[in-house]
Chain A
Amino acid sequence: MVSPVLRRVSERAQLLLEIADDELILGWRDSEWTGIAPFLEEDVAFSSIAQNEIGHARALYELAARDLGTTADELAFDRSPEEYRCSALVELRLPEWERTIARHVLYEQADAERLERLKTSGDEELAGLAAKIDREEIYHRLHAEMWAERLKDEPRYEGALGELRPLVDRRNSGSAELTELWEEMTSVRRSQPAGTKW
């Protein structure tokens, strides 16, 4: 079922939602390392990256919400799982470190290319926000780069890259993992009557 807010979606809003969904779901996945990363520095790193990705999602949803006459929260949390436009890459729960790093490296590469294109877009508002996001992503990329260097030639890491690469350009694979994450992510909001002020 398509939520009422999404009946009329412009191409621009569609693109904003695609990126926002990527950043929200990835942020959620990254936060799963909080407290259990292999060492403390990585706890801090993944928690900080998660927080920042969710901040990006929020800004993108806000722009989309203005176009669609709704709110960022409604776009982030009141759609059904099949309406999310995120990459299949971010849907997965990856409790193995080498697979998490492989996803991080693949995502940052794809995201950098996307932001580079948007920065030169004729849509000034979109280009401006992309430029801002890109500045912050520099630090995520440095982190990914550092780990790619450490793990290169490790068979488990190389295997994970090969396994995950085909998922980058797939949008919402309808996986059970995405539905599970959605259940968790929206449970508090769904527990309250519609129209509750947060």
Chain B
Amino acid sequence: MVTEAEVWEALAEVPDPEIPVISVVDLGVVRGVRVDGERVHVEFTPTFLGCPALEVMRSQMAERIAELGAEPEVEVVLDDSWSTDKITAEGREKLREAGLAPPTPRGEGTTLVQLQANGFRCPYCGSRDTALENIFGPTPCRSLRYCRSCKQPFEQFKTI
């Protein structure tokens, strides 16, 4: 029989299909793991509901659990329990290294004025002299910004 710790370890190897530098555990979308005999129940909280990676994440998690010799049950929790605040410190660092600015904390607000302000840090040079280029980007979870300091466009993980 597998242990909860083994399941967590296995899930830590499942990458986000669209941002493969971080795992589903770094992303904070695994809300709980319960081992019940041969069955492993995982509570999975989607990031953005429109994210095309959700289905892939779900089936990859099930596959990894099956590889441990257990019967996977991945339950999708459709409530507000995931927030970008759940991304781990390690996950945030990995995002930054990949050139993707990590989300700001929920508490800092997401009004247009705040997004257009200079509070966002460039993941390349660390400058806060950055401008909002587009609220939307290549996936629902990202915005586009431009660093006036190092002249580098970059993607900003949206706060939700």
Contact = CB atoms under 8 A, between A and B. Distances in A.
Overall SS of chain B's interface: loop
Contacts of A52: 48-50, 140
Interface stretch (B16-24, B35-43, B108-116): B108-116
Given A52-B140, A145-B112, A146-B112, A139 B135 contact: yes
Given A59-B49, A62-B78, A128-B80, A142 B115 contact: yes
B133 interface: yes
B49 A143 contact: no
A125 B81 CA distance: 12
Interface string A43-73: 0110111011111101100110000000000
Contacts of A44: 134, 136-138, 144
Contacts of A45: 134-136
B80 to A, nearest CB: 4
A135 interface: yes
B79 A132 contact: yes
Contacts of B145: none
A181 B8 CA distance: 45
Nearest to B160: A135
Contacts of B78: 59, 62-63, 125, 128-129, 132
Interface string A122-161: 0001001101110110110011011000000000000000
B51 interface: yes
Contacts of A47: 136
B50 A54 contact: yes
B158 interface: yes
A136 B49 contact: yes
B111 A51 contact: no
B50 A136 contact: yes
Interface of B: 46, 48-52, 78-83, 110-112, 115, 133-140, 144, 158, 160
28 contacts: A44-B144, A45-B135, A45-B136, A47-B136, A51-B140, A52-B140, A55-B48, A55-B50, A55-B51, A58-B49, A59-B46, A59-B49, A62-B78, A128-B78, A128-B80, A131-B79, A132-B78, A132-B80, A132-B82, A135-B160, A136-B49, A136-B50, A136-B160, A139-B136, A142-B112, A142-B115, A142-B135, A146-B135
Given A136-B50, A138-B110, A138-B160, 5 more contacts: A55-B140, A125-B78, A128-B78, A131-B79, A136-B48
